[in-house]
Amino acid sequence: MAETTTGNGDGSTTPVAAGNRQSGSGSPAIAEAPREKLTKKAITADHPTWCPGCGDFAVLAAFYKFLEKRNLEHEKIVTLAGIGCSSRFPYFVNGHGAHFIHGRAVPLASGISLARPDLHVFLFGGDGDGFSIGGNHLDHGARKNINMTYFIMDNFVYGLTKKQTSPTSPIGFKSKTDPTGAIDHPVNPMKKLISAGATFIARTHAANVAHMMQLIERAFDHQGFSVIECLSECVEFFPDVFDPANPKKGGSFEVIQEKKWDGTPEDELRHDVTDEVAAYKLATLPFPGVFGVFYETDRPTKNSLEKKWIETTREKTGNASDLEILQKTFDRIK
Ligand SMILES: Cc1ncc(C[n+]2csc(CCOP(=O)(O)OP(=O)(O)O)c2C)c(N)n1
Ligand code: SF4
Ligand SMILES: [Mg+2]
């Protein structure tokens, strides 16, 4: 992204700066022109192609609300995904984006986040994309603490490919790959993310837009690898599975009570989000479990560590330009 424009309300446009890149291009900053407020109309792209009633519609609605509320710079919004019904998400957001290779969304997002730390990198995908084919990538993105906000729309099934057992399908689930019922122990997303080293880990439900919004805001404000698992019903291939956590369907949505550090006896019982062992204990509660922030910690991001390393290395070269460094390297290996 080199330069973009903003509307002036009279049909004309004014160029605005591409953003405050941290990579040291050396070009002078251009003053930002006043911007129009980001509206739902501006961020809406294609008509979603999900089945009527799919939980993913509500996730998209919450994301639009979040973008409007936070009024992010339009040209800095990036939505990325792997492959799956949920991974079609970037098609429906008018911004930079890509629908990438199945399971490889974290590496793609990592590259974009590290190369352009000024961008807002949002990643969307399913349980298959994130925990099955992309499980290993998820672990490494988490331990490296690469700055991004990852929303995993968990429907306990492969939706796009029409009902195969997914890594989060419960034992006994009958699918095309397990006609007599799933026999494999499912992944527990919260436990996996805690052990992988993600620095913000939360859980929500697509039937609760207000809760999704709160968590997207907190995940976005967190510096590092932030992940939200969202139970998002596949009405076609695994209907009603999340009703036990939906009050409108007779279930109960139990929210984690976080510590207020107010010294009261009731605070003793509240959850300390910085306590990894307590987060793990919450993750062992039987389905449908609890919702909210399980774990949050501050650890330097790979983005900040890499920035420091680049600056130190550049200083050692007498602040040479990228081209000069490249030329010197070629000269050395000639
Ligand atoms: C390398 C590769 N393997 C398998 C597939 C087939 N495939 C496409 S989407 C998908 C699973 C999608 O499940 P999930 O990530 O849970 O998304 P959902 O459709 O449920 O939202 C699979 C196995 C593929 N596209 N590429
Ligand atoms: S198949 Fe399931 S996950 Fe895919 S769009 Fe339809 S309801 Fe949603
Ligand atoms: Mg799925």
158 and 166 Cβ atoms separated by less than 8 Å: yes
- In this structure, the strands spanning 148-154 and 96-99 are unpaired
Tell me the C-alpha distance between 57 and 224, whole Å.
27
Whether residue 27 is predicted with pLDDT greater than 70 in this model: the reply is: no
Lining ligand 1 with CB less than 6 A are 83-86, 102, 125-129, 133, 153, 155, 157-161, 166
Residue-level pLDDT at 33: 76
Residue-level pLDDT at 73: 95
Tell me the C-alpha distance between 284 and 223, whole Å.
27
Lining ligand 2 with CB less than 6 A are 50-51, 54, 56, 85, 155, 159-160, 234-237
Q: Summarize pLDDT for 266-314 with one digit per residue, the tens.
A: 999 999 999 999 999 999 999 999 999 999 999 999 999 999 999 998 9
Helix 189-196 and helix 135-144: axis angle, to 10°?
50
CA distances to 164, 175, 289 from 158, rounded to whole Å, are 5, 10, 22
148 and 136 Cβ atoms separated by less than 8 Å: no
Using a cut of 0.75, tell me whether the model's pTM lies above it.
Answer: yes
- In this structure, the strands spanning 157-158 and 200-205 are unpaired
Q: How far is the CA of 213 from the centre of ligand 2 (A)?
A: 22
Tell me the C-alpha distance between 34 and 29, whole Å.
15
Residue-level pLDDT at 221: 98
Q: How far is CA 173 from the centre of its chain?
A: 27
189 and 229 Cβ atoms separated by less than 8 Å: yes
Q: Summarize pLDDT for 155-211 with one digit per residue, the tens.
A: 999 999 999 999 999 999 999 999 999 999 999 999 999 999 999 999 999 999 999
Residue-level pLDDT at 26: 44
Instruction: Give SS3 for 209.
Output: helix
Q: How far is the CA of 99 from the centre of ligand 1 (A)?
A: 12
Q: Whose CA is nearest to atom 8 of ligand 2?
A: 54
Which residues lie below 8 Å from residue 159, measured CB to CB, with a gap of 6+? Answer: 54, 84, 85, 86, 126, 234, 236, 237
Token output for 106: 């974290």
Band (pLDDT 50/70/90 cuts) for residue 29 is low
Which of 59, 153, 155, 156 maximizes ligand 2 atoms within 8 Å of its Cβ, making it the mutation to test the pocket?
A: 155
Residue-level pLDDT at 35: 84
Q: Summarize pLDDT for 243-276 with one digit per residue, the tens.
A: 999 999 999 999 999 999 999 999 999 999 999 9
Tell me the C-alpha distance between 331 and 178, whole Å.
60
**Residue of higher predicted confidence among 89 and 16:** 89
Residue-level pLDDT at 46: 85
Whether residue 3 is predicted with pLDDT greater than 80 in this model: the reply is: no
Q: Whose CA is nearest to atom 13 of ligand 1?
A: 158
Q: Whose CA is nearest to atom 26 of ligand 1?
A: 102
